[in-house]
Each structure stands twice: as C-alpha cells, then as structure tokens.
Amino acid sequence: MKKNQIRLAIAGINGRMGKNIFKILNTEKINNILLNGVTESKISLKKINKILYKSNFLDIKSNIIDIIDKFDVLIDFTNPKTTLKNINICEKYKKKIVIGTTGFTQEQKLIIRKISKNIAIILSSNFSQGINILLKIIENIINILCKNKKINNLDIDIIEKHHKKKIDLPSGTALSLKNTIIKAYKKFNILKKITCHSIRAADLYGEHSVLFSFIGEQIELIHKASNRMPFAKGAIQAAIWINNKKSGIYNMHDVLEI
C-alpha cells in the first residue's frame, strides 16, 4: 500500500451507481485511490459478471464485515435497510462512509446523526456539482424575494423526473430542494407551501426543475443529467475529501465549499 493511499469499498457494486463508480475507478487514474473491496446482495450476486471483478483482483462479498479490514472509506448507494446495517458496522470498526442512499425516515436520519458523533459521514441526496450549485442559487433567490417583499403572489413548484424503478417519491433531491426553500423562508419567519410533482418514466437519469410563478411571469431553473457519471464522480470526490475527517456529518456543500 502506497503512502496516503485511500482504500475504498463500494456497497451495491451491481447497482446503477455502483457500476458507474466502478467504471470510473477502472478506467481513470485517480491519485491515491485503491478500490479494495466490493459487496452485493446474495440475490444480485447470481447475476453479476464475476470475471470482470476478479480481473481487478476483487472478490465480491455479500456482507461488508467480510471486507472490513480492506477499506478506509465505504461508498454506499444501496437502500435504507442495508445502509443502516452498514453504517452500524462502520461505526464499530471506525470506518468512514459516503451515503448516497435516499428514502430514509426521520427516525433513521436521527440514527445516522447520532452515529456521526463517532465516525465521519457524508450524507447527500445528490452528488452532482450542478445540483449543489442549484441549491445555493435557490437559497439566494429566496433571500432576494423576501428582502424585497416579493412573495405575496409567489407560488413555488418542484418537478422531478426519474426512471420507473426509482422507489422513493418524491426523490431525495426534490426534498433537498424543498428543504432549502423552507429553511431560507424560516430566516424571515415565513411559512409557504412548496409543492413537489413526481414523474416516473422509462429510464430517465434524473431531471429537477424549480418553478417560481408570479402573476404574469415565471422563473424556471432546471438541472438535467444525461448520465450518472456526474453523481459517481461526486461520490469519489466526497470519499477523498472525507478521508481526513475524524467524525461529524457532512454534505456536498462541504465537499465543494459552496
């Protein structure tokens, strides 16, 4: 092992995000990153092209406890139940974790926050640079509108589109957009209804738009992903960033410094 090398593991290697993260690490030279372990559920293990991973000296396991000594940072884009199981193991063995799983209940989020007192965690609904810039822009727009008292006749709608197999509805990113707006309003002691509209169709990668509607005019902000690579690259960037952190809960705003 090289000095300062980060040993990385991926949970859910056969998932949409797992495959894209693996593809980047397998084709691009990223300094100080060593993919040293991968996991997948027992059901999915039957469908995996194991030769592909063995050619990269990776033996797929169904439980991260089987690779616990092989990684420093875990990237997890699985499902709430599996992620909670993995995060508890990471806490026990003092491993850092980057979480891209969405659909957590409030109770599960509280568990994650509690565990973050002992290990470093990045929890984000979206790892793309574009979405995180959009969140900042929306916060600024709300601040401008509230300061200038331009909200009386304002309606805000969030529209999100994803592939048919996406389970959580609305998406985690749509909820992040909504919560950003609500948080910005709270600074001015304002309560406003924010409506989310969800579309599940075909194999859409992800599209989010925020519509500010006034009487006679609208402002629409749109983020479109043409593939999953921006999310995968963001997750890898997050894993590199968190490697030097001891404990705490962070998000992509921290990683991108925006």
Show which residues are catalytic: 162, 166
CA angle 119, 116, 58 (to 5 degrees): 50
CA–CA distances in Å: residue 145 to residues 12, 139, 148, 174? 43, 10, 5, 21
- State how far the Cα of 106 lies from the Cα of 171, in Å rounded to an integer: 15
C-alpha to C-alpha distance for 78 and 31, rounded to whole angstroms: 26
Asked whether the beta carbons of 158 and 177 are under 8 A apart, the reply is yes
- Burial class of residue 58 in the structure, from the number of CB atoms within 10 Å of its CB (0-12 exposed, 13-18 middle, 19+ buried): buried
Dihedral sign for Cα 57, 60, 65, 66, please: negative
The CA-based dihedral angle spanning residues 85, 87, 93, 94, taken in that order and rounded to the nearest 10 degrees: -170
Q: What is the three-class DSSP state of 161?
A: strand
d(CA 231, CA 249): 19
Question: Which of 113, 220, 128, 111 has the alpha carbon at shortest distance from 171?
Answer: 128
